[in-house]
Structures are given as C-alpha cells and as structure tokens.
C-alpha cells in the first residue's frame, strides 16, 4: 500500500546490498526509516524489539532470518545452522504461531534439499512464504469484502463503521494486511467506510501504525482510546469489528493483542458482529483450546512510559507513572470462541465450529 503516494511493502530483498530490508515500525508514524537485516542476529533482534511485528510479517521475517542464518555457512553445516537459527528465532516471540510455522517450514525444506542446494532452498522457501502471505492477504480481502458489502446493503446509507484493535494492517503483513485487507478491498470497490482505530496501549500500534496506514491510503478514520469502544457499540456507532490474531486454537479461542477480549465482550453485548481476520497458518490445530496459548509478559516500562513526538519534532519516551509505582504488562489476551462471530480466512468466512475444515 501507499506511503507518500508511492507503493511500499514491509519487507523486501535489497538487490544492491544483498540484505533483507524492513520498514522500522518503531519510529512510525513520525518518521519513515528502513533497517537492514544482514544475519540471524539482526533478524532475531528485529522480531524481538518489534522493528517488525504482526503475525504474517513475523513469519516472513523469520523465513528470511532462516536464510540469512545459513547463507554464508558451509553447505555441510547448513542443517546444524538451521536448527540453531530455528531455536533462536522461535524464542523471540513465544506467542506467535506464524513464527514457529515459518522456521519449521524453512528448516524442513533445507533438510529435504540435496547437498549443494540447501542454501538456495532456504531462500526459495523464504520467498514462497512471502508470496503466500501476499496471496492470503488478497484472498482475506476478497472474502471480507463480501461481509462489508452485505452490511452496506442492509444499512442502506452512510459509511460502514468498522472498529479495529491494534494493527493487523499491511504493516503487520507484507502488503494489504489481514484485518485491514477487507477495508482496503471495500475502499477499492467504492464502498463508503469509516474506521474507529483503537490506539492499543501499551505500544499504541493503532494510533501509530493503523492510523498511519489508513491516513496514507486515504481511508476516513478516527483514533479512539481503548476505553471508548464499548460506548460506541452501545450507541449503534459500530457496524462491524475486525481484528487480527496472533494464535487461534482449534476450537476458535483467539489470542490477539491485549484488550481484544474486552471489545469482543462489548460486541457480543450489543449484537455487533465480531470477526477475526487471519491467514489459516495462524490456527494452531495442536491446541484444543485457548487455555494452552502462552501469554508473554513484557517489559513493564512499556506501560510506565510511552513514545511520542516531542514539541521540538524529535521522538522519544515520556514517563507516565510515579517513579515509585510498578507496572505489569501482558501482551495478549484470549477471546473465547463463543464471542467470535466469524473468522475471515484466505479460504473463506467460517464460524468457530467450522475451523476444523481448514485442517490440512
């Protein structure tokens, strides 16, 4: 999608340097900066420090990270280096199932390749992961568009009001996004839309990333605090919630950014459809329910402080709490399947009870 009127992606191979470049999402929306991934360490750090974030993009970065880890290794050491790279990458974000899927996929491709072809097989596999993500985002957009078209027809006037939480946008994917893919598809189809953007504390991915991409793409939107969605839904100001997911259990329990569960409760209480848009690779069929999803606890300073643009135009952090106060910071919560109206996947729109049909 566009930044400054020009098409961008979140991750790409840089032919001049031979590295993999990524858009640094930690300094958005105030600055547009690119960071080079040159080896396993820089790829792992980019995932860990959230230079890149979002399930699909983490998967793509992990795929390239596997290649970066083996590209300069002697061919007879590639399998061992891949095993080590998988261990390092998997440890960066324990909740992200796409990460584990991507590293497993590349490792298997390397293991299956003949000697002499292993490094090339790693790159080919990383590229396929990117191509798959692009295709999935496009298909999620098509399936979600049908939902939005129905709502617009039923509403019979006025913009379709969509609420989203965190950033499951193109910045979380390679392009188009997951939760935003139906929004961009609807925009392209000429359907009037307005998006309520949850700011999504503590890291404010909504206020900084979703608002940025909607703004650059020209989609009408308003940023709201995470507290506001319940009020909006009680007053008929939301037609549809679309969120992403970091991991979904086989029964449809969905782990997503902390606070998603609260919005799902409000949607349920007010009869607003609550949908989760995701590539099917985010579904962990080995987990029967969401109780088994590990929820990472992150640095409390993400709560105690916040990043923004200072009056002089520079960016940095300000302290919000008393010096003496402690904070706690869980990254995700689990929305029970009973609160999810539908999953919008690249293979269609499914009720939680239908997820099992996606099992390969």
State the DSSP H helix or E strand holding residue 56, giving kind and residue range, or none if neither: helix 55-70
Which of 175, 246, 284, 333 is the catalytic position? 246
Least distance to its own copies from the beta carbon of 329, Å?
A: 7
Q: Which of 283, 281, 15, 342 is nearest to 132 (CA)?
A: 281
- Which residues contact its own copies by CB under 8 A? 29-30, 196-197, 199-202, 204, 207-208, 211-212, 214-215, 221-231, 234, 257-259, 261-263, 265-266, 269, 295, 303-311, 316-322, 324-330, 332-334
Angle (deg, nearest 10), helices 118-155 and 78-90: 30
Least distance to its own copies from the beta carbon of 224, Å?
A: 6
Query: What separation in angstroms does the CA of 50 have from each of 185, 262, 297, 316, 327?
Result: 27, 24, 15, 16, 20
DSSP designation for 347 = T
Residue 246 is a catalytic residue: yes
Peptide bond into 29 cis (omega under 30): yes
Q: Which of 272, 271, 244 is nearest to 335 (CA)?
A: 244
Q: Which is nearer to its own copies, 14 or 227 (CB)?
A: 227
Contacts of 59 (CB under 8 A, 6+ apart): 96, 98, 99, 101, 102, 129, 133, 281
Contacts of 280 (CB under 8 A, 6+ apart): 136, 345, 346, 347, 358
Q: Which is nearer to its own copies, 326 or 357 (CB)?
A: 326
Q: Which is nearer to its own copies, 26 or 30 (CB)?
A: 30
Q: Which is nearer to its own copies, 54 or 202 (CB)?
A: 202
Q: Which is nearer to its own copies, 130 or 209 (CB)?
A: 209
Least distance to its own copies from the beta carbon of 216, Å?
A: 8
Least distance to its own copies from the beta carbon of 187, Å?
A: 16
Least distance to its own copies from the beta carbon of 222, Å?
A: 5
The catalytic residues are: 246
């Amino acid at each position: 999608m566009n930044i400054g009127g020009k098409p961008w992606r979140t991750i790409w191979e840089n032919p001049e340097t031979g590295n993999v470049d990524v858009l640094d999402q930690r300094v958005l929306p105030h600055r547009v900066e690119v960071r080079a991934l040159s080896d396993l360490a820089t790829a792992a750090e980019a995932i860990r420090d959230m230079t890149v974030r979002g399930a699909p993009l983490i998967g793509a970065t992990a795929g390239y990270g596997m290649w970066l880890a083996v590209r300069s290794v002697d061919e007879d050491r590639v399998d061992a280096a891949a095993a080590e790279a998988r261990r390092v990458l998997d440890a960066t974000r324990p909740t992200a199932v796409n990460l584990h899927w991507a590293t497993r996929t590349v490792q298997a491709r390397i293991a299956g390749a003949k000697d002499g072809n292993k490094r090339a097989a790693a790159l080919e596999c990383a590229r396929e992961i990117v191509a798959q993500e692009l295709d999935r985002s496009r298909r999620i957009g098509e399936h979600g568009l049908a939902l939005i078209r129905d709502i617009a027809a039923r509403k019979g006037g006025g913009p379709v009001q969509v609420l989203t939480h965190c950033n499951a946008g193109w910045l979380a994917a390679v392009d188009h996004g997951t939760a935003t893919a139906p929004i961009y598809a609807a925009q392209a189809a000429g359907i009037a839309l307005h998006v309520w953007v949850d700011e999504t504390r503590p890291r404010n991915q909504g206020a900084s990333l979703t608002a940025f991409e909607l703004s650059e793409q020209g989609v009408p939107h308003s940023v709201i605090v995470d507290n506001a969605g319940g009020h909006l839904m009680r007053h008929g100001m939301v037609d549809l919630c679309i969120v992403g997911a970091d991991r979904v259990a086989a029964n449809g329990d969905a782990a997503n950014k902390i606070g998603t569960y609260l919005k799902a409760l409000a949607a349920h209480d007010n009869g607003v459809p609550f949908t989760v848009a995701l590539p099917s690779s985010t579904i962990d069929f080995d987990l029967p329910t969401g109780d088994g999803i590990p929820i990472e606890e992150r640095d409390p300073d993400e709560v105690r402080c916040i990043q923004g643009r200072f009056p002089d135009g520079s960016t940095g952090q300000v302290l919000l709490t008393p010096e003496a106060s402690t904070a706690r910071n869980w990254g995700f919560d689990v929305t029970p399947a009973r609160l999810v109206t539908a999953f919008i996947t690249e293979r269609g729109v499914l009720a939680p009870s239908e997820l099992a049909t996606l099992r390969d």
